[in-house]
Amino acid sequence: LPKMSAASQVERAVLEEEFNWLLKEEVHAVLKQLQDVLKEASRRFSVASPGLESQLKQENFILGNSTMDQVKGVLTLQGEALTQADINLKVAKSSQTMHFQFREDKQWKLQQIQDARNHVNQALQLLGSHDESYHFSTGTEVNKLMDAVMLQLTRARNRLTTPASLTLPELATSGLMKMFSPPMPGDVMVNFYINLSKLCLMVYQLHVLPPNTTKNFKPAGSSVLHNPGAMFELNNNRFEVSHIHKVECVVPWLNDTLVFLTISLQLCQQLKDKISVFSSFWSYRPF
C-alpha cells in the first residue's frame, strides 16, 4: 500500500506539472491560433477594392444561367450590401419578360452577413481580452472562455445557415419591394437570402383569389420558402402563390468563412477535451 501511494503521488505530481503547462503555455498557443483563424474569417467580410483601400470590393454574381430558368439575375454584392440587382422574369403562360432593377439610390443590407460578421468580431474581442501575460488559474476559467467564444461562433454559423422565416404578408410589405424601378407589380414578390455559402433569389408569382371563391382559404405561416398554393390576405385582398422560382450561386468567401468557423469550433472543443481529461483525474478537486 505505501508503495502504491508513493507511485500515485509521483503520478499526481506529473499530472500537476502537465496541467500547469497546459494552463500556462498551451492555452495561449490555442488562443493565438484561434485569433489568427478568426482574423482571416473577419477579413473575408470586408475585402477592399484593389488600389482603393477605403472601398469594399464589388462582386457580380450571375443567378439562373440555364435555358430552363424563368428567372435570371445579376446581383452586385459589396460586403454585406446588395448594391445592385438586375432581374429578368419570364412570365408563365406568356412570352413576356419583365425586367426590374434596384433604383440608383437604393441598396439592400443582408442582415445575415452583418450579424455573422458581428458575432465573429465579438469572438475576437473575447479572445483578445486575455493576452499572453494573463495566467489562467483553473480549467473552469478556460472552459468558460471557450464556451463564450463557441457561442458567438455557433451564432455566426447559424446566421449563415438559417435564413429568416417570413410570412407572405411580411414579404409583400418588406422594404425590399420598394427598391425596384420600375416598381414591382402587385402579383410579383422577391426575397434575397443567404443559405450556407449561397446567395439565393426567390421570386413568387401570385394570383388574386376572387372574393366569392369557394376555395378553403387558409393563410400560410412563416417559412423560408413558400410553395405554390400558399395563401395570404393583404389589404382585404386574398392571394395565392401560383409559381415560385429560386436561383442561387455560390459566394466563395462565404464558403471560406464557414470553413474558418468550423476549424475554430474544433480548436475550442479540442482544448475543452484536454482539460476534461485532467478533470477526470481530479474528479474530487474542482478546477
**What one-character DSSP code corresponds to residue 178?**
G
- How far does CA 159 lie from the centroid of its chain? 3
In whole angstroms, give the CA distance from residue 239 to residue 116: 34
Rounded to the nearest 10 degrees, the angle between the axes of helix 252-281 and helix 111-128 is 40
Q: Which residue has the higher pLDDT, 130 or 278?
A: 130
Cell numbers linked to 217: 382559404
- Which strands sit side by side in the sheet containing 231-234, from one edge to the other? 188-195, 198-209, 237-250, 231-234
Is 20's pLDDT higher than 80? no
In whole angstroms, give the CA distance from residue 113 to residue 156: 9
* Burial of 174: CB neighbours in 10 Å, binned 0-12, 13-18, 19+: middle
Is 17's pLDDT higher than 80? no
Query: What is the model's pLDDT at position 47?
Result: 63
Output helix, strand, coil percentages for the chain, rounded to the nearest 5. Answer: 45, 30, 30
**Mean pLDDT lowest among 25-29, 52-56, 74-78:** 52-56
Q: Which residue has the higher pLDDT, 277 or 160?
A: 160
Q: Which residue has the higher pLDDT, 93 or 165?
A: 165
Is 174's pLDDT higher than 70? yes
Cell numbers linked to 245: 422560382
Give me the mean pLDDT over the 211-224 stretch: 83
In whole angstroms, give the CA distance from residue 87 to residue 99: 6
**Mean pLDDT lowest among 105-119, 146-160, 236-250, 269-283:** 269-283
Query: What is the model's pLDDT at position 19?
Result: 73
In whole angstroms, give the CA distance from residue 23 to residue 138: 7
Query: What is the model's pLDDT at position 110?
Result: 94
H/E stretch holding 56 reads strand 52-56
User: By the 8 A CB rule, do 140 and 117 touch?
Assistant: no
Mean per-residue pLDDT over the chain, rounded: 86
Give me the mean pLDDT over the 227-250 stretch: 91
